[in-house]
Amino acid sequence: MCALLAALLALLLPLSQCELNFNNDLENNQKFKSVPTTIKSYENETVLLPCYLDTPFHYVRWHRDDVPLVDSRHPEIPPPERIVLWSNGSLQVSNLKSEDTGDYYCEIMSNSNHAVQVHAIEVQSEPSIAIEPSGVLELSIGSTFEVVCLAHGVPQPAINWRLNGNILPDYSSTGNRQSHIFEIKSRTMSGLIECLAANGVGQPAVAGVQLRVLFAPELTLPQTVVYTKVGDRAQLECIVEAAPMATLQWFHYGVPIQNGAHISSHETELGASSHSLDSYVSRVKHVLILKKVRDADMGQYECRATNSIGFKSTTVELTGRPMPCIFKINPGTQSSTSHVLVWQTESMLPIMEFKLKFRQIPSANISRPIRTNWTELTIPAQVTIGPIYITSYTLHGLQPASLFEVSVLARNSFGWSDNSKTVRFATGGEVELPNYSTESELQYDATEESFDNEITQRSQVFTASMIHNAATRCGYSELAYLTIFINICLAMRYT
């Protein structure tokens, strides 16, 4: 009687109470020949759930979760579609669909016993995924946005996030709905944001959204200084990258430049960069052409690009000054008290003179790092045929086994060039010196300048010889020699 009541309750009461009932009925449970199983199967398959006692039974009935399915006492009631109750008590579910997934309770009644056994069907299904937003997203740097991915599949798929094909490790977890907030920090975030859902059934599902980062124009100048002379044709260039596309205006000392007979401008669309993801970015080379440079054309030009995100401006100088000198590596061996320096410059106008600046760098022995003041030499240019000028000059009377740094400027009728790079050289001697290279650029160190006052320089005779190029674009074989004598200050007294 009690068992019958329990059987009724099992049918009527919700799932949790069924389980409770079933679990407590250990004695009866042991009478089952079949064992509880979870059947993992696929869509369209057929599965058989067994329900056998070791004794004959009166009736059997099945329900899925809390839905009654079949009852052997009521053969006149047709079973649900695709379900068959066999005479031996087994339940067959054919042509599986995902909604067949669930717990199946078999309730069986023998002569004296009532027993319940639970099986489960898990209809495995390939993952599917949806992403929101989808398509193409255009946002500017600094924006944040949320991407939501919704995955389905049995078993529950794991979701992974990818940016441009790279897994974002911190973003992965389980759960069929995941959202992530992205902050656009730079242009490099442009690309494909994807969600992947995988559950071991079939192929992982992928959904993506294309992110295009919009940004204010970025300018690149192939040359920040353009060297020319009056009467020549000059060309200023400004390369603009922007998304969306930028408009550009040239200015000369703040005055907008209009195209005319004298000045023209044009632009060339540059191809997309190697990143195919950047194909939405516009790359344009803007060129300003001065057909015949006049004196008034010299000076600062501004290239100003504007788009809906912002603007950027940069300047390029048109000048007749000489180009900065470049020291050439001197292959000759150097003596302990002299050093040969060779440099090259280019000038559209004849070079008039050079200014050579050098100073000794204190050796490592000195406990306090101090630097002497620069010694400046004015070296008149001897050859006036350009545009390439190669000059050789020998510093004499140097302290042996010492380290020096040197820089040079050139002047033509338009003005002084910028400083050359400062390079180091060492005189020969017995003391081992730190490695140096005549090509290395020294960083200007302002803190060391403050020690300058601690050094006084005394005048002494200094001999310098100078070698000039005899012809345009000359090689060293064509060099003519000239020696000049210059008094310079070299002796140092540390106070």
Q: How far is CA 98 from CA 46, 122, 178, 353, in A?
A: 13, 8, 23, 91
Chain positions 106 to 165 lying near ligand NAG, rule: CB under 6 A, are none
Residues forming beta bridges with residue 59, ordered by sequence position: 109
Q: How far is CA 433 from CA 14, 338, 405, in A?
A: 91, 16, 14
Chain positions 42 to 81 lying near ligand NAG, rule: CB under 6 A, are 42-44, 52
The yes or no reply on residue 494 touching ligand NAG (CB under 6 A) is no
Chain positions 295 to 354 lying near ligand NAG, rule: CB under 6 A, are none
The yes or no reply on residue 476 touching ligand NAG (CB under 6 A) is no
Could you give the CA distance from residue 105 to residue 87 in angstroms, rounded to a whole number? 17
Could you give the CA distance from residue 161 to residue 193 in angstroms, rounded to a whole number? 7
The yes or no reply on residue 495 touching ligand NAG (CB under 6 A) is no
Residue type present at position 296 = A
Q: How far is the CB of 373 from ligand NAG (least distance, A)?
A: 4
Asked whether the bond before 380 is cis by omega within 30 degrees of 0, the reply is: no
Q: Which residue, 269 or 452, has its beta carbon nearer to ligand NAG?
A: 452
**Number of Cβ atoms within 10 Å of the Cβ of 129:** 22
Q: How far is the CB of 377 from ligand NAG (least distance, A)?
A: 15
Q: Which range touches ligand NAG (CB under 6 A), out of 59-67, 132-140, 304-312, 448-456?
A: 448-456
The two structure tokens encoding residue 136:
């193409």
The yes or no reply on residue 452 touching ligand NAG (CB under 6 A) is yes
**Residue length, the chain?**
495
Could you give the CA distance from residue 147 to residue 161 in angstroms, rounded to a whole number? 10
The two structure tokens encoding residue 199:
């559950």
Site map for ligand NAG, 77-116, x if CB under 6 A?
---------x-x-x--------------------------
Among 143, 235, 378, 456, binds ligand NAG (CB under 6 A): 456
Give the DSSP H/E element, type plus range, for residue 3.
helix 2-12
Among 453, 472, 483, 487, binds ligand NAG (CB under 6 A): 453
Q: Which residue, 68 or 202, has its beta carbon nearer to ligand NAG?
A: 202
Phi, psi at 475, each rounded to 5°:
-95, 175
Q: Which range touches ligand NAG (CB under 6 A), out of 294-302, 351-359, 385-393, 453-461?
A: 453-461
Contact residues for ligand NAG (CB under 6 A)?
A: 42-44, 52, 86, 88, 90, 363, 365, 373, 431, 435, 452-453, 455-457
